[in-house]
Amino acid sequence: MPAFYLPSLVATSSDHEKMDRLGYPRAINRHNWDFDLLQQLLDEDDNAHAVVFRELGTLIEIRKKQPAFHANATQFTLQLGAKLLGLWRQLLDRRQSIFSVSNISAESQSLCLADMNLFNTEDWTDLIS
């Protein structure tokens, strides 16, 4: 099951000072938030903490409504080369399939649906946009 660490959920910067002070690399992701300050930042509209928290919340709500994300659904990794990460989730009764393709490179990438054995004759919905 996917999980979010609090630093990721609220776009926390790496804590280099804490890592240097404690002397172990994982301390970089162990920032201790002051609750009141974090709440103040999340209540603002235009800072990175609030934007990331709000957008991840929207994506989580979309995900919760998709049967293909059930814990028992089938998941396949798609072989799309070194620059694209592709996943296919399918509900056990095959009523829903979800495909996710992420560009994990610094350059724009293109992808033909045929590379994933998909065809333009089927109806597809972009769940995010």
- The predicted pLDDT at position 120 comes to 65
Query: Taking all residues of the chain, what is their mean pLDDT, rounded to a whole number?
Result: 90
- The predicted pLDDT at position 59 comes to 92
- Domain limits of the chain? 6-64, 68-116
The answer, yes or no, to whether residue 42 has pLDDT greater than 80, is yes
- The predicted pLDDT at position 121 comes to 67
- The predicted pLDDT at position 4 comes to 76
Q: How far is CA 107 from the centre of its chain?
A: 19
Q: Dihedral (C-alpha) 67, 69, 70, 76: value to the nearest 10 degrees?
A: 120
The one-letter code for the residue type at 91 is L
Q: pLDDT for 104-114, tens place per residue?
A: 999 999 988 87
Grouping H, G, I as helix, E, B as strand and the rest as coil, residue 47 is: coil
Enclosing H/E stretch for 76: strand 74-78
* Paired strand residues for 42: none
Enclosing H/E stretch for 84: strand 84-90
**Quick one: what percent of the chain has pLDDT higher than 90?**
70
Q: Average pLDDT, stretch 44-66?
A: 93
Question: pTM of the entire structure?
Answer: 0.75
Q: Average pLDDT, stretch 28-39?
A: 92
| Residue 127 pLDDT grade (very low, low, confident, very high; cuts 50, 70, 90) | very high
The answer, yes or no, to whether residue 77 has pLDDT greater than 70, is yes
Residue with tokens 């996943």: 87
Residue with tokens 């597809």: 124
Q: Average pLDDT, stretch 72-95?
A: 92
